[in-house]
Each structure stands twice: as structure tokens, then as C-alpha cells.
Amino acid sequence: MTLQVGVLGYRFMGKAHANALARLPMFFPDAPDVERDVLVGRDEEALADAADQLGFSGTATDWRDVVDEVDVFYNLGPNHVHAEPSIAALEAGTPVFCEKPLAPTLDAAREIRDAARDAGVPAGNAFNYRFVPAIQYAKNLIDGGELGEIRHFRGTYLQDWLVDPEAPWSWRNDEEMAGSGALGDLGAHTVDLARFLVGDVERVSGHLKTFVDERPVEGSDETRPVTVDDAYSAQAEFENGAMGTFEASRFATGHKNDHSIEVHGSKGSLRFSLERLNELEVLREGNRGYETVLVTEEDDPYVDHWWPPGHVIGWEHTFVHENYEFLSAVANDGEFEPSFEDGYAAQAVLDAVERSDETAQWAEVERR
């Protein structure tokens, strides 16, 4: 059986996932057969060019014509268009893969999650950093008890693409479309890795900051207000008693895409940076210092699908891994994580950070 895939969105994430779909048969021969069937967008001319470039058979300008005609629906649009198309696809019984964060608000995320519960088909949230081999290696160390009792999690995600106050306004600067700024765009990844590696977060104390209140509209003399945060920080208490700190900024001068985490336990610790994604620094019990593990051996997670040992992989490969796992779940009537349940759980932490910032008090993470 060949899975017919429909994709909403053809820019940044559209290219990343189209590339992953194209790579699957070359490097994952046991992956389901996939056809890039239809690409969805609003601009017919740009859409036709994108379909040619990304290898799609056809195009559509209305997702309503697609969601019940394909075997799998990818929602890669901006945050404010995650809910309606995803819910419609799920109600049609079509598996859905949706970019992160799951929605701009917790209420919308709950609605999407509930639709996935009712549909009973695979519904995946695109937290691709779970599929970095070094992160999978770290997960195995933690689950195997190598670090002992986990006591601290630290996560930072630093970028600098908005440092210039003349950098143009985009939908990512608008609360109605994005929900939040650095918090949802970057912090969602940190929160998901924290949940993946350590466990659920119980309560948070958060602070959000906007440094530039308006930005120029590209190609005009107008400006538009910035209604989201440029940076956030939060303290966290995990349900298992561990402590956490989260931070993200799009104003961290000199940092391009620096997602770093640390996990400290009673017997050992580990450190990871996305800018050195093939490496994991590990401190084991009895050792005086960290060792740098190059996670490129044939028996390391996913590595046997790529190059000979020692040959590194890159950021784009994480999308291949997550697409392999998601499409395999679809083809085999299996389950996929991170699911929409995970997406909702991450959104609940983001929501608690926002509520804490508004009240200047600790906020409990909602569970319903």
C-alpha cells in the first residue's frame, strides 16, 4: 500500500518534511511507500512552483478539498491554522501530523487533542528534537538508571534573528497568529524534551519580556505592533520532585540555533547542544569529569541507516527519523509519540508560564 500524503504549507517546514519524505526510501527501506500527492496553499503561482520543487503530484488552494481524500494529512501552517484543518482531517478519519506548538492557546490545543482522542488514528506533534540520536542515547541512559535519581533539568534555546529592531514584522510577532513568541516557538521544544527525559511538570514560575514593541512591515512604510514575548524564563517543579529551569530568547546576540540541555542526577549528568548534535557529554558515576560521546556508532539510535561510523548527520535528518516513525505507525495501525496528548501537555506548561507572568506567582500546570 502506498500512502497518499497531503501537505498544508510549503515554506520552511514544508521543505523540511518534503525533503524527509524524499529521503525515506533511500535510507529506510522498511518505511511505508509514500506518494507526495497534493500540496496546499493560497498563492496558486507560488504553490505550483513549490510543488515542482518539492516533488508533489498536484496542488490545492483549499485544505477542505484534501483532508478526506488523502491517507495522511500534514498541517505545517502557522500556529493559528493548526486547529480547524487538523480537526477536520481527524473527523474524516485521516491521520494527522501537525507542527509545534499544537495551537496558539491551551483551549485550542485541548480541542485538537480531544478530536484526536475521538478519531482513534495516529496524530503526531512535530517535536523533531526527540529524534536526534544523541537525545535518544540520553533517554536510554536515564531510563537505564545510569544517572540515578534525576534532580535538575536545565534547558535554554537561544537565537538572535530579532536583535535588530529593524528586522521585519512577521506572523511570529503576532499573538493572534502565534499565541506567544519565544515561549511557544522555542520553549515548546525545551518543554517537550524536559517531559521526554525527566517527566511531567507540576508548577512553574515564569517571566516574559518584549524588547521591541513594533516592527516595520516589509515593502512598506508601515509598522505593526509586536504582541508576543521576545524572551522568557521559568523555574519549574517536576512531579517527581526534580527542579527545572527553562529559558529562550530571540535576542541572544551571537546565538543562531542554540538549544542546550543539562540533566543532573544522583549518580551522573549529561549535557547536549543542538549546535553539536552528534555529541553528548556524559559524566558517569566514579569519573572525575565529563566524557564526550560521539553518537555515530552503528548501534546508536538511527545511525545504522546512514553513513559508516564516525560520519556525522545533521539537523535535517531528525525530520527523516520522525517521519519514519510516524508513517510506520500509520501503516501498521500503531501509536506514535510525541502525540497530540504530548502536544497538549507541552502547551499546558506554556500556558502556566504565561499565567505565572501575569500574576507574578507560581502557576499549576493544568491537567484536564
Report the CATH number that the domain containing residue 312 is assigned in CATH: 3.30.360.10
Cα distance between residue 31 and residue 328, in whole Å: 6
Cα distance between residue 68 and residue 38, in whole Å: 12
116 and 154 in a single domain? The answer is no
56 and 156 in a single domain? The answer is no
55 and 163 in a single domain? The answer is no
- Residue in the block written with cell 525527566: 198
> From residue 267, how far is each of 41, 44, 150, 198 by CA, in Å?
51, 58, 9, 15
The verdict on residue 315 lying in a domain is: yes
Cα distance between residue 184 and residue 125, in whole Å: 14
125 and 252 in a single domain? The answer is no
Cα distance between residue 347 and residue 161, in whole Å: 24
| Residue 23 pLDDT grade (very low, low, confident, very high; cuts 50, 70, 90) | very high
**151 pLDDT above the threshold of 90:** yes
Which of 129, 144, 167 corresponds to the end of one domain? 129
179 and 156 in a single domain? The answer is yes
The verdict on residue 365 lying in a domain is: no
113 and 229 in a single domain? The answer is no
110 and 141 in a single domain? The answer is no
322 and 335 in a single domain? The answer is yes
For residue range 84-139, list pLDDT tens digits in order.
999 999 999 999 999 999 999 999 999 999 999 999 999 999 999 999 999 999 99
Question: How many domains, in total, are found in the chain?
Answer: 2
123 and 170 in a single domain? The answer is no
For residue range 238-275, list pLDDT tens digits in order.
999 999 999 999 999 999 999 999 999 999 999 999 99
**209 pLDDT above the threshold of 90:** yes
For residue 302, which of 30, 3, 16, 15 has the smallest C-alpha distance? Answer: 30
For residue range 265-316, list pLDDT tens digits in order.
999 999 999 999 999 999 999 999 999 999 999 999 999 999 999 999 999 9
| Confidence (pLDDT) at 1 | 84
241 and 351 in a single domain? The answer is yes
Cα distance between residue 246 and residue 239, in whole Å: 16
76 and 195 in a single domain? The answer is no
Which of 98, 129, 160 corresponds to the end of one domain? 129
Cα distance between residue 246 and residue 262, in whole Å: 11
Which of 107, 129, 151 corresponds to the end of one domain? 129
The verdict on residue 256 lying in a domain is: yes
For residue range 29-86, list pLDDT tens digits in order.
999 999 999 999 999 999 999 999 999 999 999 999 999 999 999 999 999 999 999 9
The verdict on residue 368 lying in a domain is: no
| Confidence (pLDDT) at 284 | 96
Report the CATH number that the domain containing residue 97 is assigned in CATH: 3.40.50.720
Percentage of residues in the chain with pLDDT exceeding 70?
Answer: 100
Grid cell of 106 as nine digits:
491551551
Which residues have C-beta within 8 Å of that of residue 112, sequence separation ≥ 6? 82, 83, 86, 87, 98, 102, 103, 340, 343, 344
61 and 94 in a single domain? The answer is yes
The average pLDDT across 210-235 equals 97
> What range defines the domain where residue 230 resides?
131-359
| Confidence (pLDDT) at 368 | 81
The verdict on residue 200 lying in a domain is: yes
303 close to 295: Cβ distance less than 8 angstroms: yes
